[in-house]
Amino acid sequence: MTELTKLTLAAALDGLQRKAFSSTEITQAFIDQIEASNETLNAYVVKTPEKALDMAAEADRKIAAGEGGRLEGAPIGVKDLYCTKGVRTTACSNILGEFIPTYESTVTQQLWDAGAVMLGKLNMDEFAMGSSNETSRFGPPANPWRREGSNQTLTPGGSSGGSATAVAADLCLGATASDTGGSIRQPASFTGTVGIKPTYGRASRYGMVAFASSLDQAGPIAKTVEDSAILLEAMCGHDKKDSTSLPEPVPEWRDAVHRGVQGMKIGIPKEYRVDDMPEEIEALWSQGIEWLKEQGAEIVDVSLPHTKYALPAYYIVAPAEASSNLARYDGMRYGTRVAGDNLINTYEGTRSEGFGNEVQRRLMIGTYVLSSGYYDAYYLRAQKVRKKILNDFVTVFGECDALLTPTCPSAAFAYGEKADPVQMYLNDIFTVTANLAGLPGISVPAALDKQGLPLGLQVIGKALDETSCFRVGGALEEAAGFVAKPEKWW
């Protein structure tokens, strides 16, 4: 039954509806694959096979009765950042101990309501802080892709590394992920998968462990652009439980994927041509431009002059919000508690033992930039820069419908290769701008580099215009004809 695990979500849904196979069969096939490979790939940090088989049996009943939802019977994985009722949720942090939520996040609830089946919880960087998944309390997952002729393990990217590994290695049909500064798009680029972050507010944040509330957004990692549209439609929608959720209807994005780009204007922002960018990524970007031109799009050169300030602004705003959000982990209510002889000692003991190094670094930066003496110089300034970045986008979207850029300045790298935090942060250079401006962005696999590793192209759309991301993403996918799969070594 391993072949079932290789299906796209769209093909699997079709097979389930035609009763070519049952949800129980495809779910069992995934459970077997996860069992056989998880020790090596470390994608799942919690496996829920019994729950999955129960959900699959229920889905089979519904399909037989002709009343299934739009994801009926489809097995998926869930990033460990989403609260799942009765299933351990720790955001891969020690501070959450063995926390078992008593409620379900809105996004996952919507997926179960649509009929999806939960295979388990997926590995991630602690509290989604990182670009390589190395900060997880459970150790990093392995990228199924390796450099040609090498057996060195590479990172699947971060923070949604487990989601990307699971999708690339056929350990689920698709996965939830989350993106605060690139955590859906960068892992997608590193693993030859598709990832989309919708407009801020499209998906409810209720029940997602908070990192930086004004930047966090839910989204899927999937095998194809169409699969990502199917999942995103089920994940989005207004939710009264999240005050930042937008009261907007969810369009039929799946229909946009094959609509083509005839007559669209695609902007090429010159500031995304950065120093030291590998030639191959430059070349792929030019190739992407050609592909879109050939399909009838008009290409326009545009400028986003404040791009160079995006990364520093992000690494002030995100830690500032994190320092406030993570103040709730004090040893009183959740998980780990290291009791001291007074309250302050208990806080200090709990937080220094419970949080890993990267999280502690961010909390210190965040507390510093919010402190009274430095607030104006750092935080307030970063917020002003953020506004300028947003204004740049508003201006260029007067001239074009969407932007095309590389997703990342590199292909997947090895563990330990970026030991300096600033080097690690630089990996987010092309992705953080969409979060700062609240815009949708999709990463589509477009080619393999000289070492045989996947590279992605990114499409950034106007606010609430995921449709254009899907149109351009679909056109790139078709032109690229990217069908490569990692050679199985796990």
Q: What does the binding site for ligand GLN look like in residue numbers (CB under 6 A)?
A: 128-131, 159, 179-183, 211, 318, 428
Among 463, 99, 71, 429, which Cα is nearest to 274's? Answer: 429
CB of 460 to ligand GLN, least distance (A): 15
- Annotated catalytic residue 183: yes
CB of 50 to ligand GLN, least distance (A): 30
Q: Which residues contact 473 (CB under 8 A, 6 or more apart)?
A: 194, 196, 225, 228, 257, 442, 444, 459
Assign 405 to helix, strand or coil.
strand
Cα(405)–Cα(396) distance, integer angstroms: 14
CB of 86 to ligand GLN, least distance (A): 25
CB of 443 to ligand GLN, least distance (A): 12
Question: Are the C-beta atoms of 132 and 157 separated by less than 8 Å?
Answer: yes
The smaller minimum CB distance to ligand GLN, of residues 179 and 392, is found at 179
Q: How many CA atoms lie within 13 A of 436 on its CB side?
A: 32
Among 408, 431, 432, 433, which Cα is nearest to 285's? Answer: 408
The amino acid occupying position 341 is D
Residues in the chain: 490
The smaller minimum CB distance to ligand GLN, of residues 26 and 128, is found at 128
Could you please report the per-residue DSSP string of 67-129? ---TTTT-EEEEETTB-BTTB---TT-GGGTT---SS--HHHHHHHHTT-EEEEEE--SGGG-
The smaller minimum CB distance to ligand GLN, of residues 280 and 428, is found at 428
The amino acid occupying position 287 is Q
Two structure tokens written together for 448? 């393999």
- Order across the sheet with 454-461: list the strands: 44-47, 117-122, 75-79, 174-179, 217-222, 194-197, 441-448, 454-461, 402-406, 265-269, 298-302
Cα(198)–Cα(179) distance, integer angstroms: 9
Candidate list 93, 136, 160, 183, residue with the active-site label: 183
The smaller minimum CB distance to ligand GLN, of residues 182 and 288, is found at 182
DSSP state of 464: T
CB of 131 to ligand GLN, least distance (A): 4
Candidate list 22, 93, 159, 323, residue with the active-site label: 159
Q: Are strands 75-79 and 117-122 parallel, antiparallel or unpaired?
A: parallel
CB of 471 to ligand GLN, least distance (A): 25
The smaller minimum CB distance to ligand GLN, of residues 33 and 433, is found at 433
The smaller minimum CB distance to ligand GLN, of residues 69 and 219, is found at 219
Cα(379)–Cα(318) distance, integer angstroms: 10
CB of 179 to ligand GLN, least distance (A): 5
- Find the distance separating the first CA and the last CA of the chain, reported in whole Å: 18
Cis peptide upstream of residue 352 (ω within 30 degrees of 0):
no
Alpha-carbon separation of residue 352 from 99, 335, 338 (angstroms): 18, 14, 9
Can you give the C-alpha Rg of the chain in angstroms? 21
CB of 320 to ligand GLN, least distance (A): 12
The amino acid occupying position 217 is Q
- Annotated catalytic residue 159: yes
Tally of CB atoms within 10 A around 329: 22
The smaller minimum CB distance to ligand GLN, of residues 75 and 181, is found at 181
Cα(172)–Cα(205) distance, integer angstroms: 23
The smaller minimum CB distance to ligand GLN, of residues 177 and 256, is found at 177
Within its chain, how far is the Cα of 139 from the centroid?
19
Cα(310)–Cα(391) distance, integer angstroms: 13
CB of 158 to ligand GLN, least distance (A): 6
The smaller minimum CB distance to ligand GLN, of residues 200 and 291, is found at 200
Active-site residues, by number, are 79, 159, 183
